[in-house]
Amino acid sequence: MATVIDGKAVGDAILEEIRAEVAAKAATDASYQAPGLAVVLVGDRKDSATYVRMKKKACEKVGIRTVSVTLPADVTDAALLAQIDALNADSSVHGILVQLPLPAHLNEEVVLNRIVPAKDVDGLHPMNVASLAIKSKLPYIVACTPAGCLELLDRYGIELEGKKAVVLGRSRIVGVPMSLLLLARNATVTICHSKSKDLEAIVREADVLIACCGQAQMVKGSWLKPGAAVIDVGINAIDDATKKAGYRLVGDVAYDEAKEVAGAITPVPGGVGPMTIAMLLKNTLIAQQRAHI
């Protein structure tokens, strides 16, 4: 039976560490300015508004100041970019988060790339991704979800050096930065995607599996190497008539089978999910600390 990796507990521990650090600095330095996170919300999507609310609530808990920028759904690219320029120039703002997705008429790529890399707390700017790839010594910010996966592996004492790691997925937000992080930690990394052949054989080699392909319960228990560490990033809704909502959330791994074979595994929900917000706040604290270097 696998150890269940508790992302909620680790996420809460990280939030407490951030809170304690901010409080300690504030207590000893009267001129201390708490980290500031600007949250930009465009339009009136209910799900985006909920995510923004959750992020702001988490900030409040740990003593991170938030600056809310709410713009109408029909805002122009130019007006949104002007807002980002103003936040880039504001020294009290250490991190800038643009809640995605943006309305279709806006150019997401241009908007995200406008955030200065030092304030890009989502870690999506090409400079931040590239500095991971070249093992740069430059201060870089790592995308929140892969940073959270690595933190889970570390806090559960899962060895990476010399291990075979398989990443199922190659997105900009999860798969690619995850693969680069594992490589930087001296794992031997295989990256799979929708055109990869014979996934089952590749996954069976993995000491560490990161499933981030958005395919409900695709990885079966029988695919896993006994004792493997499994981090399931996927969040997929499947029909479930027993639930009031008519659906439930599952990962990319068939959890009930997999936990009989794996050495350690994250559940969905309660695994990687809570880590993403915790790492966003940690990135904001890091950005603030670097602003003073």
Catalytic residue status for 29:
no
Three-class SS state of 112: helix
Catalytic residue status for 215:
no
Q: Verify binding: residue 194, ligand NDP, rule CB under 6 A.
A: yes
Tell me, by CB under 6 A, how many residues bind ligand NDP: 25
Question: Binding residue for ligand NDP (CB under 6 A) from 210, 213, 254, 285?
Answer: 213
Q: What is the DSSP string of 23-49?
A: HHHHHH-TT----EEEEEEES--HHHH
Q: Verify binding: residue 174, ligand NDP, rule CB under 6 A.
A: yes
Q: Verify binding: residue 171, ligand NDP, rule CB under 6 A.
A: yes
Q: Verify binding: residue 233, ligand NDP, rule CB under 6 A.
A: yes
| Cβ distance to ligand NDP smaller for residue 8 or 170 | 170
| Cβ distance to ligand NDP smaller for residue 15 or 93 | 15
Q: Verify binding: residue 236, ligand NDP, rule CB under 6 A.
A: yes
Q: CA 203, CA 210: separation in Å to the nearest integer?
A: 10
Amino acid, single-letter form, for residue 224: L
Catalytic residue status for 33:
no
Map 53-68 to HEC letters: HHHHHHHHHHCCEEEE
What tokens does 207 get? Answer: 């000491």
Q: CA 166, CA 74: separation in Å to the nearest integer?
A: 42
Stretch 99-138: interaction string toward ligand NDP, x if CB under 6 A: ----------------------------------------
Question: Binding residue for ligand NDP (CB under 6 A) from 53, 57, 105, 193?
Answer: 193
Minimum Å gap between C-beta 11 and ligand NDP is: 10
Distances (CA, A) of 268 to 107, 216, 278: 32, 11, 17
What letter does residue 109 receive in the DSSP assignment?
Answer: H
- Enclosing H/E stretch for 231: strand 229-232
Minimum Å gap between C-beta 90 and ligand NDP is: 28
Binding site for ligand NDP (CB under 6 A): 145, 168-171, 173-175, 192-196, 199, 212-215, 233-236, 272-273, 276
